[in-house]
């Protein structure tokens, strides 16, 4: 009798264990299927931004990079053809003024078609595409500009570029990427290039006294941090015109 009870207990225990294994296996399979479904759903939603030319690496060695801030992919967003795409791995090539997206299936770098991209955000900076008209074509060129300030009376943009230069180092040709930033204030629909205190004040001439007082009161120095100085001046000027 004891053997019979023991046998029944063993059978029941084995059956319960088998059911648990089957249940765990089913849960794992369900989780896997769900993950795969979400993956392909995400890929389908962003398929258009993965279309483009593959970006090839420079053949000449360099200890620098041609990209904005970081040489590695960082998460950002893109507005292409009026559609917003978030959580993409991005690089912005300052030499060629091209936005690059990391392909979902590999480490390939896919160059975006600039005509389709309206704006993008990377490293906390918002870049917009500016297209000059007949009145501004002599001041700005078509391309992506870092929108540093957007106000009612003025907006401030930075054109960020890198220029390549070949140098000889340890008897070997190496490539350097020298960054150049140019700044433009948009006022009354016109773009004005600015680079120093005098050129900014010239654009804001109708508030010259107030701007001079602001610079003196806040001890703003152009030589140390020109970009920050221009941003602060644009914001203050805008506040005077509200």
pTM over 0.75: yes
Residue 185, CA distances (Å) to 50, 78, 176 in order: 34, 24, 30
- The average pLDDT across 132-145 equals 93
Check residue 25 and give its pLDDT.
66
Q: What is the CA radius of gyration of the chain?
A: 29
Check residue 168 and give its pLDDT.
86
Assign 48 a pLDDT band (cuts: 50, 70, 90). Answer: low
Q: How far apart are CA 38 and CA 193, in angstroms?
A: 47
Q: 146 and 125 in contact (C-beta within 8 Å)? A: yes
Check residue 153 and give its pLDDT.
96
- The average pLDDT across 186-202 equals 95
């Amino acid at each position: 009798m004891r053997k019979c009870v023991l046998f029944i207990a063993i059978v029941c225990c084995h059956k319960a264990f088998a059911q648990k294994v089957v249940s765990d296996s089913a849960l794992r399979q369900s989780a896997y299927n769900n993950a795969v479904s979400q993956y392909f759903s995400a890929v389908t939603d962003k398929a258009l931004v993965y279309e483009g030319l593959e970006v090839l690496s420079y053949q000449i060695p360099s200890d620098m990079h041609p990209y904005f801030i970081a040489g590695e992919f960082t998460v950002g967003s893109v507005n292409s053809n009026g559609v917003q795409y978030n959580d993409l791995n991005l690089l912005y090539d300052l030499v060629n003024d091209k936005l690059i997206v990391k392909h979902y299936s590999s480490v390939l770098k896919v160059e975006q078609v600039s005509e389709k991209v309206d704006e993008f955000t990377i490293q906390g900076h918002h870049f917009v595409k500016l297209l000059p008209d007949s009145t501004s074509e002599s001041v700005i060129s078509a391309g992506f500009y870092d929108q540093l300030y957007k106000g009612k009376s003025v907006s401030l943009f930075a054109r960020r570029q890198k220029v390549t230069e070949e140098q000889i180092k340890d008897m070997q040709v190496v490539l350097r990427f020298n960054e150049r930033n140019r700044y433009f204030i948009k006022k009354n629909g016109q773009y004005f290039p600015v680079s120093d205190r005098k050129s900014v004040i010239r654009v804001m001439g109708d508030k010259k006294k107030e701007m001079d007082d602001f610079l003196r009161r806040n001890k703003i120095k152009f030589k140390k941090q020109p970009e920050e100085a221009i941003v602060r001046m644009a914001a203050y000027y805008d506040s005077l015109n509200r």
